[in-house]
Amino acid sequence: MGKALTQTRGNRKRSHLRTNKPQFKFPLHTALRMRHPRCMPKLRDIVAFCDERTRRAEIKDFGGAYNGLQLENNGEVTKIGAAVDAGQLPFQAAVAAQVDFLICHHGLFWSPPVPLTDIRYEKVKTAMDGNLAVYGAHLPLDCHPEIGNNALLAQALGLECVGSFVPYEGNDIATIAAAPAGGRRELAEKLKALFPNTYQGIEYGSEQPTRIGILTGSGQSAVSELQAQGLDTLITGELRQHHFNMAQELGLNLYPCGHYATEVFGVKALAAEVAEKFGLDWKFIEQPCLL
């Protein structure tokens, strides 16, 4: 690498002295990666880091879900992306932003094998034509104590995590946090500020809860377990209509604030850590989803 760099500088020595302008249009470390592909982080190294950081091997997901590398690229990575969903529009936006490693919370695979036809073909073709590797992390990025959606949502609200519940295959997938001193009113105000477009409040529980449950995304599995944990308040992404009646009958505070909106935290955190670890830029691929 040093020899090649010396040759490059030598070839441009006169021009550089004459114009007194920087040799590269990009930061030096970026220019070196562009001129010397061996300097680019390898896909396998980034995947290994993500697997270890998310504890992928330790977290069993729902049937049909697959976590980890779901689609590979040419083996090198120059820019990290994060998206909640592995969809056609996020793929197009990622390719347009020159992302070649995209971390998704909702990955490509959720059901038994299906033929790659129609939109499924177009989606995969978009990624492959754009040299876009796709990495999925579902439950590993929900329950992680540091970069998980639950933990980071609690942090964004200024709440301390004090426990967990909703066991699934050996791991708890929901978090328990200490309630704010101002009780239900303060909690609602914080949620409205954090989720201005998707906040909903169904308030039939205590005005002064001491602890609250947090389960981002779909919160159905947590509602029935609240009382067993001594909880009457839950922050989640989405619920079903019958949970409104359950809130009335059981005396619960339920805050469904959007499946998408409550699950942007984990992919952002993992993308930021990967980018820092490997000296790359990263970008969050935003989608206008209010569900």
Percentage of the chain exceeding pLDDT 70: 87
**Cβ–Cβ under 8 Å, residues 235 and 199:** no
C-alpha 35/C-alpha 23 separation (Å) is 13
Q: Which helix (H) or strand (E) holds 278?
A: helix 265-278
Count of helices and strands (H, E) across the chain: 12, 11
130 phi, psi to nearest 5 deg: -95, 10
- Write out the two tokens for 81: 């992306």
pLDDT above 80: residue 22: no
When pLDDT is averaged across residues 25-31 and rounded to a whole number, the result is 35
pTM (2 d.p.): 0.85
User: Helix 43-54 to helix 265-278 angle, to the nearest 10 degrees?
Assistant: 130
pLDDT at position 9 is: 35
When pLDDT is averaged across residues 106-118 and rounded to a whole number, the result is 88
Mean pLDDT of the chain: 89
pLDDT above 50: residue 28: no
C-alpha 123/C-alpha 172 separation (Å) is 33
When pLDDT is averaged across residues 47-69 and rounded to a whole number, the result is 95
C-alpha 291/C-alpha 87 separation (Å) is 15
pLDDT at position 277 is: 97
pLDDT above 70: residue 113: yes
Going by C-alpha positions, the residue among 103, 147, 139, 107 that lies closest to residue 217 is 139
Q: In the β-sheet with 133-136, what is the strand arrangement from edge to edge?
A: 68-71, 133-136, 101-106, 79-85, 281-284
When pLDDT is averaged across residues 124-140 and rounded to a whole number, the result is 98
pLDDT above 90: residue 8: no
Going by C-alpha positions, the residue among 40, 133, 32 that lies closest to residue 86 is 133
**Cβ–Cβ under 8 Å, residues 63 and 84:** no
Task: Give burial (CB, 10 Å; 0-12/13-18/19+) of 151.
Answer: buried
Q: Indicate the pLDDT class of residue 163, thresholds 50, 70 and 90.
A: very high
pLDDT above 80: residue 61: yes
C-alpha 205/C-alpha 250 separation (Å) is 8
* SS3 of residue 222 by DSSP: helix
**Cβ–Cβ under 8 Å, residues 240 and 215:** no
* SS3 of residue 62 by DSSP: coil
pLDDT at position 111 is: 81
pLDDT above 60: residue 155: yes
pLDDT at position 13 is: 35
pLDDT at position 73 is: 97
pLDDT at position 35 is: 35
Q: Which of 30-39, 70-79, 193-202 has the lowest mean pLDDT?
A: 30-39
192 phi, psi to nearest 5 deg: -60, -40
Going by C-alpha positions, the residue among 219, 201, 213 that lies closest to residue 263 is 219
pLDDT at position 64 is: 85
pLDDT above 70: residue 18: no
pLDDT above 60: residue 34: no
Rounded to the nearest 10 degrees, how much is the dihedral formed by the CA atoms of 54, 136, 254, 225?
-60
Q: Indicate the pLDDT class of residue 36, thresholds 50, 70 and 90.
A: very low
- Write out the two tokens for 10: 């030598």
Where in 65-192 does DSSP place strands (E)?
A: 68-71, 79-85, 101-106, 133-136, 161-168, 171-178
pLDDT at position 114 is: 82
Q: Which residue segments constitute the domains of the chain, with CATH numbers given?
A: 2-37 (no CATH), 43-138+264-284 (3.40.1390.30), 142-261 (3.40.1390.30)
